[in-house]
Amino acid sequence: MSRTRARRRLIGATAGLAVAALVLTGCTADPPPPIEQTEPTTTPAPAPKRSTVVVAIDEVGSGFNPHLLADQSPVANAVAELVLPSAFRAVPDPENPASTLWVPDDSLLLSVEVTDEAPFTITYRLRDEAQWSDGAPIAAEDFRYLWRQMITQPGVVDPAGYRLIDDIRSSGGGKTVTVTLREPYPAWRELFTNLLPAHLVKDTPGGFSTGLSETIPVSGARFHVDNVDRGRAEVLLERNDRFWGTPAGPDELLMRRAGTDAQVTESVRSDDAQVVQSAGGVALEAQLAAVPGVRTGVQLQPRTLELTLNTRTAELADPGVRRGVLDLLDPELLGLVATANSTEVVRARAQVLAPSDPGYTDTMPPRLPREQALDRLAAAGYLPVPPAVPPVPADPDAPNPGTPETEGSETETSETTSETAAPTSATPEQGTTNAPALPEGTLARAGVPLTLVVGVPEGDETARAVARTAVDLWRGAGIDASVDELPPDELYGEALVEGSVHAVVGWMRAGGDPATAALSRFGCVPVAATPTAAGEALPTTPGSDLPAQPDAPGTTAARPSDPATTTLDEDDVEEREDALAAQLEAPSNLSGACDPGLEPDLLAALNGATDPAKVVADAQTGLWDLAVNLPILQDRAVVAAGPGVENVSLTAAVATGILGDAHLWGRTTP
């Protein structure tokens, strides 16, 4: 009985295990749907809207090196102010807004002072944190690089002050810069503005002359250049995040071409542009002023357009010829061509001084009528070619050629004709059958036409238009004239020195020290660098440093007496000789002419021994008498600020313009 129960229990247990196995197998083959776990979703915060100020401009310009004459443009000037570091910056004088004060830039300098008077020594202490945006320190190397380029490169802006520098020494890891000058220089605060990144520019193809033609690769100030689009005429600056001082207000500053007066006004009206700096006239200013909340004004730009004759050429060696060709030009017409509107012309009618400079007055002598200008050229031997004499018809009764009588008669007739034509004709002498006939009316001397080639920097449309109009006026008077566009370094160097151009139309810098400008542009040019052994004395006449140029065609030389001397070591001698030789190869005196009677006064003004304003004013007659320079106009711009931006001053210093304080601007509209 007990066995039977035990068997039944075993069978029941086995059956239970089998059922459990079937249940487990069923669960494995047909599992329930998995439980889906949903992760919480988060919406990313929107990126903060960038603060962008748009400035309506005209054109970008040729390049971005503020120390080159060919790169003088409103945009290049603005970019340099916002991107490059400066020891001092120009601000309006609160007591006289027409004047400019130069104040230290404390974002770069801890201190600066004149630490010695003999020799004149300036000591700059730079902030340790001051650096370029690529991490390289702003240091004495940058000061020295700018100095060397300003005294050796062609086409630089008024380098007379830099030529006074004798040496630049570095200490404190490059953060203490000691500059020694050979003479006192009251305008020393204007040195070392817009320092260049020496560690990059010196190794860039083209270097100082063309290395900054497309952009400035790094920044040492509150903004850096993000993009330059010449096709759309746009320059985009962004806040420099590596700037060590107070950051700029706007995240971006976009300068772009806005088009016609109506388009500029519409862009401000719709808040597409908040600031305007455009070469418009009274119509643009009136349209902008009518837009509610828009402030307007007129800002003179720190550049003047001028035509300069090259006296190194044989054609312009004679002052009478120079006066004649200048009197054939109409500065009013040339100014109209430059601006396309007579209401926009700010006439420049003085030597050295621009209309924006304190003490400027119109000193231009009266322009001679066309007939008197031609008389001046005639007095120099340039006469118009007379109409061609038609050939005399052959006499059918005349003897056959070849007989002795005929030969003798031809000889006699030829001699008689030659003698008769000589006094009144500007054509080649009779018998020079290989000389081509000159067109009637061409001004020629001894059968050689008066030829003038006007050089302009490549890419400068305004200079090219003015040069072509000047050429048209000269051609109309019988001068064989033409325009040649050249790379700026060639134009202001080799072309001037070798005489392949007779004149230059281009921009000159305005708003700086008048004594520096006067000596840079009209100072006497040395003949050559005289080899000097180490330890020997070198002349230290400011602005020359060499025996003055002897009397040569088109050039008058000053001969200073008893110049001061200094003893130099071998390296100093080599550097000085290179700089002196560069004054011949890359002259800042574009014309090559100077007045020895004015030279001592210009030197005294540069050194602070006399009042620069008085010297420049008293020199006006003498500078005009050189007959080498024709000022045409000072550039101007209509400026405006709309309600979408704040802290924009429309009365800035001429040297900096209204964009100089763009780091203070702020958007008031999203």
Instruction: Tell me the two tokens of residue 502.
Output: 């007779």
Tens of pLDDT, residue by residue over 625-651, are: 999 999 999 999 999 999 999 999 999
Tens of pLDDT, residue by residue over 171-202, are: 999 999 999 999 999 999 999 999 999 999 99
Residues 189 and 266 in one domain: yes
Residues 603 and 656 in one domain: no
Residues 604 and 661 in one domain: no
Sign of CA dihedral 223, 227, 230, 232: negative
Residues 365 and 486 in one domain: yes
Instruction: Tell me the two tokens of residue 335.
Output: 């100014």
| 7 lies in some domain | no
| 426 lies in some domain | no
Structure-derived torsion over alpha carbons of residues 229, 230, 236, 241, reported in degrees to the nearest 10: 80
For residue 391, the model assigns a pLDDT of: 66
Determine which helix (DSSP H) or strand (DSSP E) holds 585, and give its type and residue range: helix 570-585
Residues 207 and 167 in one domain: yes
| 390 lies in some domain | no
**Mean pLDDT, residues 588-594:** 96
Spatial contact of 569 and 534, defined as CB atoms under 8 Å apart: yes
Which CA distances in Å does 261 have to 182, 280, 597? 51, 7, 50
| 36 lies in some domain | no
Residue 586 pLDDT class (50, 70, 90 cuts): confident
Residues 319 and 215 in one domain: no
Backbone φ and ψ for 124, nearest 5 degrees, come out as -105, 130
Q: Is the pLDDT of residue 467 over 50?
A: yes
Residues 611 and 658 in one domain: no
Instruction: Tell me the two tokens of residue 374.
Output: 């031609």
| 441 lies in some domain | no
Lowest mean pLDDT among 247-261, 266-280, 380-394: 380-394
| 250 lies in some domain | yes
Instruction: Tell me the two tokens of residue 209.
Output: 């002359």
Rounded Cα distance between 266 and 286, Å, is 13
pTM metric for this prediction: 0.83
Residues 516 and 567 in one domain: yes
> Residue type for 556, please?
T
Spatial contact of 334 and 589, defined as CB atoms under 8 Å apart: no
Look at the chain and report how many structural domains it folds into.
2
Rounded Cα distance between 519 and 544, Å, is 10
Provide the domain limits for residue 217.
Answer: 52-294+642-667
DSSP secondary structure of 485-525: EE-HHHIIIIIHHHTS-SEEEEEEE-SS-HHHHHHHHHSPP
Spatial contact of 330 and 324, defined as CB atoms under 8 Å apart: no
| Domain CATH for 175 | 3.40.190.10
Q: Is the pLDDT of residue 137 over 90?
A: yes
**Mean pLDDT, residues 298-319:** 97
Residues 109 and 257 in one domain: yes
Question: Of residues 624 and 559, which shows the higher confidence score?
Answer: 624
Residues in the chain: 670
Spatial contact of 451 and 481, defined as CB atoms under 8 Å apart: yes
Residues 476 and 506 in one domain: yes
Pairing of strands 252-257, 52-57: parallel
Query: Is residue 401 reached through a cis peptide bond, with omega within 30 degrees of 0 on the bond before it?
Result: no
DSSP secondary structure of 168-221: EEEETTTTEEEEEESS--TTGGGTT-S---HHHHTTSTTHHHHTTSS---S-SS
Determine which helix (DSSP H) or strand (DSSP E) holds 379, and give its type and residue range: helix 370-379
Structure-derived torsion over alpha carbons of residues 418, 420, 425, 430, reported in degrees to the nearest 10: -10
Sheet holding 443-445, edge to edge: 383-384, 443-445, 448-449
- Per-chain mean pLDDT for the chain: 85
| Domain CATH for 507 | 3.10.105.10
For residue 506, the model assigns a pLDDT of: 98
Residues 143 and 286 in one domain: yes
| 139 lies in some domain | yes
Tens of pLDDT, residue by residue over 527-561, are: 544 333 333 333 333 433 333 333 433 444 333 33
For residue 437, the model assigns a pLDDT of: 83
**Mean pLDDT, residues 111-126:** 98
Bridge partners of residue 486, in order along the sequence: 457
Rounded Cα distance between 129 and 194, Å, is 18
Rounded Cα distance between 81 and 662, Å, is 9
Instruction: Tell me the two tokens of residue 287.
Output: 């349209």
Pairing of strands 629-641, 346-347: antiparallel
Angle at 299 between CA 297 and CA 300, to 5 degrees: 150
Bridge partners of residue 482, in order along the sequence: 453
Q: How many CA atoms lie within 13 A of 558 on its CB side?
A: 27
Lowest mean pLDDT among 39-48, 147-156, 660-669: 39-48
Question: Of residues 2 and 535, which shows the higher confidence score?
Answer: 2
Question: Of residues 30 and 478, which shows the higher confidence score?
Answer: 478
Checking 288-294 for CB contacts under 8 A at 24+ apart, the result is 288/264, 288/638, 288/640, 289/640, 291/265, 291/642, 292/643, 293/642, 293/643, 294/268, 294/640, 294/641, 294/642, 294/643
Measure the N-to-C terminal CA separation of the chain; round to a whole number of Å. 101
Backbone φ and ψ for 253, nearest 5 degrees, come out as -130, 115
Residue 33 pLDDT class (50, 70, 90 cuts): low
| DSSP state letter for 664 | G
Residues 307 and 284 in one domain: no
| 557 lies in some domain | yes
